[in-house]
Chain A
Amino acid sequence: MHRQTMILWVWLLIPGCGAFLGPDPEADPETLFELFWESYDRYYAHFELKGVDWEELYEEVRPRVGPGTTEEELFEVFRYMIGHLEDGHVHLVAGDRRAFSDAHLRGTRRNFHPAVVDEYLGESRNEVGRGQIVYGSVGEDIGYIRLATLSGGYGSGDDAGGWIEEIDLAIRDLSHKRGIVLDLRSNGGGRAHNTRYVAARFVGEARPFLVTRSRNGPGHGDFSEPRTWQVEPADTVRYLGPLVVITNRHTFSAAEWLTLALREYDHVTHLGTHTGGGLAMFLPRELPNGWTYTISVQDTRCVRGRSYERVGVAPHRYVENGPDDEELGRDTILDQAMDVLRRK
């Protein structure tokens, strides 16, 4: 028997609890709109930071939704609403349709071409960590480590682990280099554990790097007590030579945390373009019609109190690849990073 059918059968056989739980809300356009608007009003963390008047948006948009509003029209209304938030952790999924809040902010992808980097690495190219860590030498005396993601792994706290631990192999192999380029371009983020695991391998002392607060009340300024995140130096494998972190607008979320963590140290230079500007934890939700969406629920700032939501973390040196770099097999950002290290 199909599992859903079996569950329904048991619920019909033993009635009563259905009444206690109550019916699902109607999935009509007006109810969906109210639920969607209210959930952001209650949980979204950046209204005040971004100067978004959510009430005013309600007044503007609500008249466009009525009993006869089609799914397509409602989807476009929701897309318009979340577009005001310009938030990389806010998106809507409605069947095959996707709407992203900050798609217009991400800019060009030309600032990272893995195939071009592979030409720089040549025969020194190695892969570990299930292919998520690429490393080797760019030039004779400069090491290169690319982290494609910070997702994946298992556990939490002291019991966390996973593929990220193989970054130790890369660091051991490159320990004799005069400097290392840590390439976080187009790294979409992932787990906080992976962030701190990597950062711990490039620092000599513990330092705080991030302060987070979660939205915890009906007011747009209601937040929990702050939590400070800190990097603790690893007691096993470490590289404390000059490090250049390179980023682009697709360096996102936990990868931005890693960027901020490493920028706290003087031997680290941040180069490339601004990061993506989406650092907050998010709340997944769904509507009665099965559409799903996410809400950023966390105020995230560096230890000096600055928020990088939407704008991203500005590099110490702003460098972009040229429009014909890929064709020429050139990576200007990587070239500049190597120059920085050679001068150290």
Chain B
Amino acid sequence: MSGMFRVALAVVMVAGWTFGAMEAAAENSRGWVEVKGGVEATGSRDEMGSPRVYRGMGVPLVVAGALSRGPWQWGLEAGGFGTGFNGGPLQARGGGEDHGVAEQIFVDGSLWGTRRVWQGRRLGVDAGARLSHWTFFRSYSYHSSQIGAVETWESPTTIDGLGRVRVSPISRVHLQAELSVPLMGRVLRPNYAVRGDERMALVERRTRVLSSGRWATWPTLQMVQARGAVHLETVGPLMVVAEWRVGGLALNGEVPTRATAQRLVVGVRLSL
């Protein structure tokens, strides 16, 4: 038996064993992990410093995972990006090189739990709750000649109602649509005028990060997150995932602000 033949046989045996193991794992699946990457478009309008809309992009890395038992499923997800690391700045529409730039950091994460409430042959419906968090930081510099900046953070942590519809239109293809709306949320929203090392709080009652976050509900806090995903089964427990997620946040009140983040990512899901 030639050496080449032995190597080829070994490769085939290992591949076959791996495939079989993965098939078995998929049948007894109790959960999954995902790693995804793509682009995220963010936007903001902060009346504190400018009436203009600022828009930017990042290239986020997102990790997610879930465990299931019977009709129940629990999961978590985290992702984000920052200017100068894996993202660019926000810029005013029509703004030139010389003004209207904001550094940004966008991080979001969630813990969720759902229960299967209906399951047909190709269609399923889940409902549950999500503990969701955003931190969206912007540091605005309106003109290169201006000393100082305006820094704004929105860090809403919300308890959302979550609904999900799952459809499998053809073999090995699974579609999913999800909508979550906060029932209530604690909003930390520091807002500063900045000059060098001096940060002066501008909206005093919302500024102390640990002590003055406020419980807010509609209409003070308006937030929606929606998600659509396509899962394509490939080999064994591996799936290709393509996902679009959009989120909008409006904080109304004395100094209103609006922020959006929409994410288009692709990645892989490994069933456990």
Residue among A4, A156, A288, A290 with the highest chain B CB neighbour number at 10 A:
A290
A7 touches B196 (CB 8 A): no
Dominant SS at the B interface? strand
Decide yes or no: A20 and B248 within 8 Å by CB, A3-B88, A216-B203, A284-B49 being known contacts: yes
> C-beta contact mask, A73-87 vs B, less than 8 Å → 1, else 0?
000000000000000
A11 touches B202 (CB 8 A): no
Q: How far is the CA of A287 from the CA of B44 in the complex (A)?
A: 15
B200 touches A4 (CB 8 A): no
**A61 at interface, CB cutoff 8 A:** no
Q: How far is the CA of A319 from the CA of B244 in the complex (A)?
A: 70
A24 touches B53 (CB 8 A): yes
Decide yes or no: A292 and B143 within 8 Å by CB, A10-B39, A298-B200 being known contacts: yes
Residue among B49, B51, B96, B149 with the highest chain A CB neighbour number at 10 A:
B51
A284 touches B146 (CB 8 A): yes
> C-beta contact mask, A267-308 vs B, less than 8 Å → 1, else 0?
000000000000001111111101010100110000000000
Interface-side segment among B3-11, B128-136, B157-165, B256-264: B256-264
A16 touches B246 (CB 8 A): yes
**A115 at interface, CB cutoff 8 A:** no
Interface-side segment among A120-128, A133-141, A168-176, A188-196: A188-196
**A328 at interface, CB cutoff 8 A:** no
The smallest C-beta distance from A57 to any residue of chain B, in angstroms, reads 21
Chain B's closest residue to A20 (CB) is B248
**A111 at interface, CB cutoff 8 A:** no
Chain B's closest residue to A297 (CB) is B193
A283 touches B202 (CB 8 A): yes
Decide yes or no: A7 and B201 within 8 Å by CB, A282-B195, A286-B52, A292-B142 being known contacts: no
Chain B's closest residue to A152 (CB) is B196
Q: How far is the CA of A6 from the CA of B199 in the complex (A)?
A: 33
> C-beta contact mask, B51-83 vs A, less than 8 Å → 1, else 0?
111011100000000000000000000000000
A21 touches B145 (CB 8 A): no
A17 touches B262 (CB 8 A): yes
Task: Kindly identify which residue among B39, B94, B99, B258 contacts A22, using a CB–CB cutoff of 8 Å.
Answer: B258
Decide yes or no: A282 and B260 within 8 Å by CB, A214-B204, A297-B202 being known contacts: no
Chain A's closest residue to B146 (CB) is A284
**Chain B residue contacts of A7, Cβ below 8 A:** 41, 55-57, 88, 91
Contact residues of B between 199 and 240, Cβ < 8 Å to A: 199-205
A282 touches B148 (CB 8 A): yes
A286 touches B43 (CB 8 A): no
**B252 at interface, CB cutoff 8 A:** no
Q: How far is the CA of A308 from the CA of B250 in the complex (A)?
A: 40
Q: How far is the CA of A7 from the CA of B57 in the complex (A)?
A: 6
Q: How far is the CA of A216 from the CA of B44 in the complex (A)?
A: 22
**A114 at interface, CB cutoff 8 A:** no
B39 touches A290 (CB 8 A): no
**Chain B residue contacts of A281, Cβ below 8 A:** 193, 195, 198, 200
**Chain B residue contacts of A282, Cβ below 8 A:** 148, 193, 195
Decide yes or no: A286 and B244 within 8 Å by CB, A11-B41, A281-B198 being known contacts: no
The smallest C-beta distance from B191 to any residue of chain A, in angstroms, reads 10
**Chain B residue contacts of A16, Cβ below 8 A:** 246, 262
**A103 at interface, CB cutoff 8 A:** no
The smallest C-beta distance from B57 to any residue of chain A, in angstroms, reads 5
Q: How far is the CA of A17 from the CA of B54 in the complex (A)?
A: 12
Decide yes or no: A224 and B204 within 8 Å by CB, A10-B39, A156-B199, A294-B146 being known contacts: yes
Chain B's closest residue to A190 (CB) is B196
Q: How far is the CA of A21 from the CA of B45 in the complex (A)?
A: 7
Contact residues of A between 10 and 45, Cβ < 8 Å to B: 10-11, 14, 16-18, 20-25, 35, 43
B258 touches A21 (CB 8 A): yes
A14 touches B258 (CB 8 A): no
Decide yes or no: A290 and B193 within 8 Å by CB, A10-B57, A16-B246, A285-B142 being known contacts: no
**Chain A residue contacts of B258, Cβ below 8 A:** 20-22
A21 touches B43 (CB 8 A): yes
B55 touches A284 (CB 8 A): no
Q: How far is the CA of A284 from the CA of B52 in the complex (A)?
A: 14
A17 touches B50 (CB 8 A): no
A284 touches B149 (CB 8 A): yes
Decide yes or no: A191 and B197 within 8 Å by CB, A17-B41, A21-B45 being known contacts: yes
A18 touches B43 (CB 8 A): yes
**Chain A residue contacts of B146, Cβ below 8 A:** 93, 284, 292, 294
**Chain B residue contacts of A156, Cβ below 8 A:** 197-199
Q: 24 pairs across A/B with beta carbons < 8 Å?
A: A7-B55, A10-B41, A14-B244, A16-B262, A17-B261, A17-B262, A20-B248, A21-B258, A22-B53, A22-B258, A25-B52, A156-B198, A157-B197, A160-B197, A192-B195, A194-B196, A281-B198, A283-B48, A283-B193, A284-B49, A285-B150, A286-B100, A287-B51, A290-B99
By a beta-carbon cutoff of 8 Å, the part of chain B in contact with chain A is: 39, 41, 43-45, 48-53, 55-57, 88, 91-96, 99-100, 140-143, 145-150, 193, 195-205, 244, 246, 248, 250, 254, 258, 260-262, 264
In the A-B complex, the 6 residue pairs with the smallest Cβ-Cβ separation, listed nearest first, are A191-B196, A17-B260, A156-B197, A292-B143, A286-B142, A216-B204
Given contacts A7-B57, A14-B41, A283-B193, 7 further A-B contacts (CB under 8 A): A10-B57, A17-B246, A191-B198, A212-B200, A216-B201, A284-B193, A286-B92
